[in-house]
């Protein structure tokens, strides 16, 4: 069971699920706009607003090698629903490992 499913009661989840999404978290390099994927997750959500909520939650809770500065949300068919920068609280630095 994934993080999203554990956070939402099963009866609520069953009523609201409408689509499966894929979220890719990445870092961008300013000099040449290169993208490096640092995280990749799938989730089931009701709509784009829920997808954004889930993506923002995961961006702060997933154990990724670096903190992402942007993300892309696609549907199961690969159509891009959202692509853009994440709001960050500080500079992009590598996360410390335990």
Residue 95 counted as domain residue = no
Domain with 79 in it: 3-85
Measured between its terminal Cα atoms, the distance across the chain in Å is 24
Residue 93 counted as domain residue = no
Residue 40 counted as domain residue = yes
pLDDT digits (tens, 9 = 90+) for 57-91: 999 888 898 889 999 999 989 999 999 988 755 44
- pLDDT (0 to 100) of residue 30: 80
pLDDT digits (tens, 9 = 90+) for 3-61: 554 555 555 555 555 789 999 999 988 888 788 899 999 999 988 899 999 999 999 88
Q: Is the pTM of this model over 0.75?
A: no
Residue 70 counted as domain residue = yes
User: Starting at the edge strand that comes first in sequence, how are the strands of the sheet with 34-45 ordered?
Assistant: 34-45, 19-29, 70-75, 80-85
> How far is Cα 9 from Cα 6, in angstroms, rounded to an integer?
7
In the chain, the number of structural domains is: 1
């Amino acid at each position: 069971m994934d993080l999203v499913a554990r956070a939402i009661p099963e009866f609520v989840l069953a009523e609201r699920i409408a689509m499966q999404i894929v979220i890719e978290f990445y870092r961008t390099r300013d000099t040449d706009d290169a993208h490096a994927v640092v995280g990749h997750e799938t989730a089931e959500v009701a709509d784009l607003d829920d997808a954004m909520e889930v993506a923002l939650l995961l961006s702060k809770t997933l154990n990724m090698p670096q903190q992402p500065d942007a993300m892309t949300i696609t549907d199961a068919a690969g159509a891009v629903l959202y692509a853009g920068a994440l709001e960050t609280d500080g500079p992009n630095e590598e996360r410390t490992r335990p």
